[in-house]
Amino acid sequence: MRIANLFFLFLLFGVFSCQDDTPPEPYGATPSERQQAWHQMKYYAFVHFNMNTFSGAEWGHGEEPPSLFNPTQLDCRQWARIAKQAGMEAIIITAKHHDGFCLWDSQYTEHDVASSDWRNGQGDVLRDLAEACREYGLKMGVYLSPWDQNSPVYGTDNYNEYFMNQLTEVLSGYGDIFEVWFDGAVGPEYKGKQPYDWAGFIATVRKHQPDAVIFSDAGPDIRWVGNEKGFANPTNWATLNRDDYYPGTPRYKELRSGNQNGTHWLPAEVDVSIRPGWYYHPGEDDKVKSTDHLEQIYYSSVGRNSNLLLNLPVDRRGLVHENDSAALMELRRRLDATFTTDLSAAAGVKASAIRGNSDRFAPAHLLDDDPETYWATDDEQTTASFTLTFDKPQTFNVLELREYLPLGQRVEAFKVEAWQNEEWQEIGTATTIGNRRFLSLPVTSGERLRVTITEAMACPVINEVGLYYRPHDNSRLNEEPSEE
């Protein structure tokens, strides 16, 4: 009996000694904690509401009288309620645009709401928005333009301190800020007039809001996507050779794809307006983007390793216009129709290879909805596949894949096959994955689906898979959105 027990223990030791629980080493640049928190988001609102709302301009000139700013029904709770119902997670507000008008009472200028007739000079849009976001469980971000056409010190040695003082007011007076948005735009007549102290601007954000991500053409945390049409390129790296770019860079088209093996983790944010303009214009009330167009934007941004920042031009009442709200609700219904039911939850899964033959890296983690687990292969194995198997045929046309970003972005290409007529038939291919990839597929019914990583810079580390049926025409979803 003792010999039998020893033999059993020997076999058990042999089984476990064949497993290697050593995780892969991080590959290349990887996200910081603040960037990783940003990656957990998908979709949020940009609110362009400021002096231009009332002047009718897109870029004001800084000489508009403060009395022009006078919303009659301003209700930030309405903004937040609509954003929440639309499935958004945050609101970023244009606290100060290029004309220099401030939506808060700034002690450094009289070109602000305190000098307006609105609420007898006692109003504060940022305070209202901060309270509304807290009520509806949304995060709040702020846009501040370094270019200021109103400030008399713009173009002098004193301006950088002036801007940092205003930045401090905004970042220290309204609670947590998740993102600070720096616009690199400047008129040609002002170009080069004011050297910006970007290091000082960044240090000011880090001091007052250390968890906030900073946006500009070159980060340092997230980058512009290089267009305002609503898409990242189908190949989109979260890494960038950051020192090669700067706010206002003429190489903006390169930002659409990032740089493979870039020196820094600098993922893309896709900013696009729901209307032709960024600010409200009554003549655009009938030009709100269609549901098809908005859904295509969603797939081409969120579904291409980016976050979507969709602009809502709040109107002169101080409300999100009814047409904009209706479009958002229809988009929410369209997305819910697809993504509410993840067909992969009913699947079994097997892989062609498992790292160290260990349960820690087993393909079952693709389906466990845990952001901290993943399927991985041995270091030397950069091509591998996993197969989803169902008890009965499923009909699907959208695949979602996610990489485990703390270990870096690795996958260069993959293909998708369905078991049809007793053989594997290819139904889709794509390049990068990153935080999230949606791949539109032809409508397919079957009991097995195989995903093969065909190219990778290091062993694949895949966090999640999702499989969905979209009950609409998929023909546009893998294209780049165009103007409507």
Q: Is the pLDDT of residue 5 over 90?
A: no
Hey, which residues does 220 pair with through a beta bridge?
Answer: none
Dump pLDDT digits (tens) for 19-41. 789 999 999 999 999 999 999 99
In 147-201, DSSP assigns E strands to 179-182
Domains and CATH numbers, the chain: 33-339 (3.20.20.80), 343-468 (2.60.120.260)
The pLDDT value given to residue 16: 45
Average pLDDT over residues 147-166: 97
Which backbone phi and psi does 125 adopt, to 5 degrees? -65, -40
Q: What is the DSSP letter of 478?
A: T
The pLDDT value given to residue 484: 58
The pLDDT value given to residue 19: 73
pLDDT band at 237 (very low <50, low <70, confident <90, very high): very high
Residue 19 or 368, more confident: 368
Q: What is the DSSP letter of 253?
A: G
Q: Is residue 304 within 8 Å of 233, Cβ to Cβ?
A: yes
Mean pLDDT value across the chain: 95
The pLDDT value given to residue 6: 44
Q: Is the pLDDT of residue 295 over 60?
A: yes
Q: Is the pLDDT of residue 217 over 80?
A: yes
Average pLDDT over residues 457-473: 96
pTM: 0.94
The pLDDT value given to residue 320: 98
Q: Is the pLDDT of residue 422 over 90?
A: yes
Dump pLDDT digits (tens) for 438-448. 999 999 999 99
Dump pLDDT digits (tens) for 261-287. 999 999 999 999 999 999 999 999 999
Residue 258, CA distances (Å) to 225, 233, 267, 305 in order: 9, 9, 8, 11
The pLDDT value given to residue 475: 76
pLDDT band at 18 (very low <50, low <70, confident <90, very high): low
Question: One-letter amino acid identity for 392?
Answer: K
The pLDDT value given to residue 20: 82
Nearest in space to 263 (alpha carbons), one of 32, 436, 29, 421: 29
Helix (H, G, I), strand (E, B) or coil at 356: helix
pLDDT band at 319 (very low <50, low <70, confident <90, very high): very high
Which token pair is 434? 């990153």
C-beta atoms surrounding 14 within 10 Å: 9
The pLDDT value given to residue 12: 44
351 Ramachandran zone, left/alpha/beta (phi>0; psi -120 to 50): beta
Pairwise CA distance, residues 439 & 416, whole Å:
9
Q: Is residue 180 within 8 Å of 205, Cβ to Cβ?
A: yes
Residue 7 or 32, more confident: 32
Residue 240, CA distances (Å) to 198, 244, 246, 306, 460 in order: 18, 9, 12, 14, 20
- Separate counts of helices (H) and strands (E) for the chain: 9, 17
Percent of the chain with pLDDT over 70: 96
Dump pLDDT digits (tens) for 59-115. 999 999 999 999 999 999 999 999 999 999 999 999 999 999 999 999 999 999 999
Dump pLDDT digits (tens) for 321-364. 999 999 999 999 999 999 999 999 999 999 999 999 999 999 99
Average pLDDT over residues 198-213: 98
Please give the span between the terminal C-alpha atoms of the chain, in angstroms, as a whole number: 80
Q: Is residue 162 within 8 Å of 111, Cβ to Cβ?
A: no
pLDDT band at 4 (very low <50, low <70, confident <90, very high): very low
